[in-house]
Amino acid sequence: MADNMLKWRRRLAGGVTGLVAMSLQAAPVLAQDVAPSAAPAVPAIVPAPVQIPKLSRSQMDDLRTALAQAEAQGLTDRTLTSDEARSGDQVLISAILDYARAVHAGQLDAGDFLREWGLRPAPYDPRPSFAAAVTQDKLRSWLASLTPPYAGYDGLRRGLATYRQIEADGGWPRLAPGPDLLPGADGPRVIALRTRLAVEDKAVSTDGDTFDDALLEAVRRAQRRYGLNPSGIVSTQTIAALNVPVSVRIRQILANMERWRWLPPQLARNRIQVNIAAAVLTVFDGDAPVKSMRAVTGRPGDETPMLQSTITSIVLNPPWNVPTSIATKELWPKEKANPGYFKRNGFKVISLADGGSRLQQQAGTKSALGRYKFDFDNPYSVYLHDTPTQATFSLYSRLSSHGCVRLEKPAELAELLLKDAPDWSPDAIKAAITKGDTVRARLQTPVAVYLLYWTAFASANGQISFRGDPYGWDSGLMDKIDGRDRKELVADVLKGVR
């Protein structure tokens, strides 16, 4: 019993605080679930009978080593207690199968996913491959194959170790508020700034109390890492980013490592990735980025969902079929307040067979979709598109759409995706745009598209960049994982006193 309690205290220490009363009276509260939003169903796995061969001593050692390293993979501690270690193969096998499911397909059940989390891990049963690895004595390679095979995941794993060490060393000092710090400033606040920046950026010197050119560049590097305007001026926004506790940064890394486990085992070679939180679109050829541009993604309350799909065509000069919610909340009130608004902005009311109506904005210079619409199947009715409003792209915070993704350079993206289509040379695209008719241009080679929510990601040099958590999905995800650990803790306590 004491060993079990110690084990679970260690498991919860990475992200759960305040869990000090573990009595039977607390169990019903801890075990309650909040009903999740409706989500696409994930097919249940029907377990097939699998006979696990007897483990050799060296195989058992390999499994214990893997369990001891679970925290390095961003999972809760799975080290066996002394009582469990003496209990034989079955406890060890059960623990390693639990570890395999968590590190390969994530730590959530289907009911834990929000509807907007359209990326879901494929159902995964580790037992058949585990049994084969035991039989063939290939456990080490099997264990190595469980983690997501992506450089992005590996970068976060290394970053997790770095930030945990920072936490173990006491974290970083909190910067005091005050007037903006500018080049040429000196004094204690500059010394504090140097000390803070040096924790994450080893190129920063902690010597001196002057805001010199080297410190200016260090501030700009930090601002880029946090997605801020790299002005070099240390104002309220920069101080706020630097004052985020290291424990919060660790939880961001853990949340993003979990999302990597939801991706398929191999991403399409030709693909578009949108980082929703950073509002950036990148086109990839394999692991090499070939084009990047700013985007505008959904504002909180109109979240851009995470999803995977395929672009097969581009609509040139698209009309906009206005969603009912936008028409009701925004456009009809504008027409009532300013009669003629619809006519001036190219809207027409279309009567429906059921007696209702809908709004459509005609293609043209005023269309909210601009001149390009990149279609892909999804249950959220979102897509990539052009926009006549360009001012937002100059901002560093670009979450202001109704959920679709607006593009800074849609014409360049269209030419890139249609480069192999014989009928759609750059001149042909421009001619169609100029003519103004609505036409659909088919891609010769369909391109995969992934809408992803990355708030922590690693650069090629191992530096971790962070963004805000505008939708609260980091904290929500970690709360779900922590909640599952709480319920397991309660079950463990109850089992021990029966």
Q: What residues are annotated to the active site?
A: 385, 404
What b/e string do you get for 421-435 counting C-beta neighbours within 10 Å, with b at 16 or more? beebeeeebeebbee
Cα separations in angstroms, 217 against 63, 194, 231, 232, 478 = 47, 12, 10, 7, 34
Q: What is d(CA 252, CA 82) in angstroms, rounded to the nearest whole number?
A: 32
Q: Give the HSE-up count for residue 15: Cα atoms under 13 Å, Cβ half-sphere.
A: 26
Residues, the chain, total? Answer: 498
Q: How far apart are CA 466 and CA 180, in angstroms?
A: 22
Amino acid residing at 372: Y
Q: How many CB atoms lie within 10 A of CB 236?
A: 10
Q: In whole angstroms, how large is the CA radius of gyration of the chain?
A: 26
Under 8 Å between Cβ of 402 and 302:
yes
Q: How big is the CA angle at 495 (ends 490 and 498), to the nearest 5 degrees? A: 125
Q: How far apart are the first and last CA of the chain?
A: 11
DSSP secondary structure string for all residues of 360-409: EEPSSTT-TTTTEEEEE--TT---EE--S--GGGGSS--EEESSSEEES-
Q: Are strands 280-285 and 270-275 parallel, antiparallel or unpaired?
A: antiparallel
DSSP string, 247-275: HHHHHHHHHHHHHHTTS-SS--SEEEEEE
Tokens of 475: 């904290």
Residues 6 or more apart in contact with residue 19 via CB below 8 angstroms: 12, 486, 489
27 CA to centre of own chain = 32
Burial 73-102 (b: 16+ CB within 10 A, else e): bbbbbbbbbeebeeeeeeebbebbebbbbb
Q: Which of 316, 241, 304 is nearest to 273 (CA)?
A: 304
Contact status, residue 318 vs residue 364, Cβ threshold 8 Å: no
Q: How far apart are CA 275 and CA 122, in angstroms?
A: 22
